[in-house]
Amino acid sequence: MNTMKYWLTCAAMLLLAQVALAQEAIEITRGSDRATPIAVVPFGWQGSTPLAEDLAEITGNDLRNSGMFQPFARENMLSHPTRAEEIFPRDWKMLGVEYVLAGQVTGSAEGYQVQYHLYNVAREQVLLSRTVSGTQNQLRDMAHRVSDEVFEHITGIKGAFSTKLLYVAAERFSADNIRYTLQRADYDGARTVTLLQSREPILTPSYAPDGQRIAYVSFESRRPEIFVHYIQTGRRERITSFEGLNGAPAWSPDGKRLAFVLSRDGNPEIYVMDMDSKQMRRVTNHYAIDTEPTWLDNNTLVFTSDRGGRPQIYKQNLNSGTTERLTFVGNYNANAKLSVDGRTMVMVHRQDGYRNFHIATQDLERGNLKVLTETSLDESPTVAPNGTMLIYATRQQGRGVLMLVSTNGRARSEIPTKFTDLRVPSWSPYLP
C-alpha cells in the first residue's frame, strides 16, 4: 500500500514537473527574440557638486522599458569610458554586450551639454556621436532625448521617451473626503504637475493629438461633465453637460473631433462633436450600452458594446454606418486602444469567470490575441505613440497603481509616485 502511494506520488510529481517545463517553454517563446544587451556607462561629470540627475540611469531605464534592450549592470562593467576613444571592444565583448553608450556632461547651472557616443561592439565602430543641451530643469529631458536618438538609431523606430503621461490620483482622507487630482508627469512618472484638483471624481483624461489640449470627465458640479483643458494656459471649456452620462471623451486622429458618450436619449450612445462648430451627431443607436469610443482612423470608431449580451468590441464606419464585431475570444473585452499604425488593438480582456481582467493585445489583421498581464483587475490601457510600450492600471494591496509593460511582454515596472491611489492613465502623443 505504501509503495503504491510512493509511486503515485512520484508519478504526480513527474506530471507536475512536466507541466512546469511546458510552462517554462511557453515563457521562453513569449518574446520573439531576446532583448539586446547594451551598456549605458555612467556619464562623466567634472563638476564640484554632483548633478541633480543620473542621466545614464534615466536613459538605461528608458531603453529597458521598451522591452527591446537589456541594460548591462553598472557594477559588472570593467571600465567606465566617457569618450569614444576610451571604449575598448574587448572590455565589452567578453561581457556579451552588443552596444556601448558612453558620454560626458559639461556645463554649469546656466546650461548643460551631454556629448554621447553609441558604439557597436562587434563592428568596433562608433555609430553615433551627438550633443544634447539644456538647462538645469531639463536634465531629464536631455536624458530622454539621448534615449530617443539611440533607440531610433538601433531599432529604426522613433523613440517615445520624451512623452508625457496623464493620470488621476485619489487621496482618501475619509469615506466622504477624497481629493482627486489630475496629474501630468513624464512618461516614466517623474516630475508630476497637478493640472486640476477636485473633491469629486475626475475620469478618463485623454490627450489631444496636438499635445496641447486634454479632455476629461469631471464630477465637480456633482454630476458628470466633459471638459477640454488647455495645458499651457489652464483655460477650461465645458463641452457637454447633458442629463445622464457625459463620458469617455476620445479625440479623432486629426484632432478636429471628439467622440464621447451621452445617455440623454435614455441609454448610453456614442456621439461625435466637431470641435470648431460644436455640432454633434449621434453615431450609435442601440438599446444596449455603447461606450468607450476610440478612433481607428478619422472615419472609423472602435467602441465597447454589450449588444451581444456581454461587453465586446465593435468597429463602426462613420460614413457608411456599418458595424462589425472585432472580439470573439473571452467573455469580456472592453476599453480598446489602438496603436498609431492601426494594426494592434490593446484592451481589457477577461477569458472566462468573473474576476480576472487582464490587458491583452489583438492583431487586427490576423486576429490573434496575446494576454500581456497576469494580475487581476487590470484596466485602462494606454499605448505609447510608437506602440512599443503601454501603461495600465491595476490594484496592489488595496491601492491603484500604474504599470508600464513593453508590448513584447518582456519589460514590466511600476510607475513611481508619491500618491496612494492612481488610475486612468493617458499617454501623450509625440510632443514637439
Partner 1 sequence: MEVIKFGKFAALVVAFGVVVGCSSKGGDAAGTGAVDPNAGYGSSTSSTSGSSVSSEEAALRAITTFYFEFDSSELKPEAMRALDVHSKDLKAQGNRVALEGHTDERGTREYNMALGERRAAAVQRYLVLQGVSPAQLELISYGEEKPAATGSSEEAWAQNRRVELRK
Among 358, 296, 305, 304, CA closest to 330: 358
Of 245 and 345, CB closest to partner 1: 245
Minimum distance from residue 234 beta carbon to partner 1 (Å): 24
Does position 141 interact with partner 1 (CB under 8 A)? The reply is no
What track of x and - describes contact with partner 1 for positions 262 through 301 (by CB under 8 A)? -x---xx--------------------x-xx---------
Does position 204 interact with partner 1 (CB under 8 A)? The reply is yes
Of 116 and 357, CB closest to partner 1: 357
Instruction: Choose which of 77, 185, 275, 348 interacts with partner 1 (CB under 8 A).
Output: 348
Minimum distance from residue 282 beta carbon to partner 1 (Å): 16
Report d(CA 127, CA 331) in Å as an integer. 49
Q: Judging by beta carbons within 10 Å of its beta carbon (0-12, 13-18, 19+), is residue 353 exposed, middle or buried? A: exposed
Region label for 222, one of left (φ > 0), alpha (ψ between -120 and 50) or beta (otherwise) = left
Minimum distance from residue 313 beta carbon to partner 1 (Å): 11
Cα 431–168–302 angle (5° rounding)?
A: 65
Q: Which of residues 350-379 bind partner 1 (CB under 8 A)?
A: 354-355, 357, 377, 379
Does position 60 interact with partner 1 (CB under 8 A)? The reply is no
Does position 68 interact with partner 1 (CB under 8 A)? The reply is no
Minimum distance from residue 351 beta carbon to partner 1 (Å): 14
Minimum distance from residue 292 beta carbon to partner 1 (Å): 5
Report d(CA 304, CA 308) in Å as an integer. 11
Provide φ and ψ at 51, rounded to 5°: -65, 150
Minimum distance from residue 227 beta carbon to partner 1 (Å): 16
Does position 203 interact with partner 1 (CB under 8 A)? The reply is yes
Instruction: Choose which of 63, 206, 424, 426 interacts with partner 1 (CB under 8 A).
Output: 424
Given the rule CB under 8 A, which of 12-20, 79-87, 91-99, 196-204 is the region that contacts partner 1?
A: 196-204
Does position 383 interact with partner 1 (CB under 8 A)? The reply is no
Of 257 and 423, CB closest to partner 1: 423
What track of x and - describes contact with partner 1 for positions 205 through 244 (by CB under 8 A)? --------------x--xxx------------------xx
Of 85 and 287, CB closest to partner 1: 287
Binding site for partner 1 (CB under 8 A): 172, 175, 201, 203-204, 219, 222-224, 243-245, 247-248, 261, 263, 267-268, 289, 291-292, 304, 306, 311, 332, 334-335, 348, 354-355, 357, 377, 379-380, 395, 398, 423-424
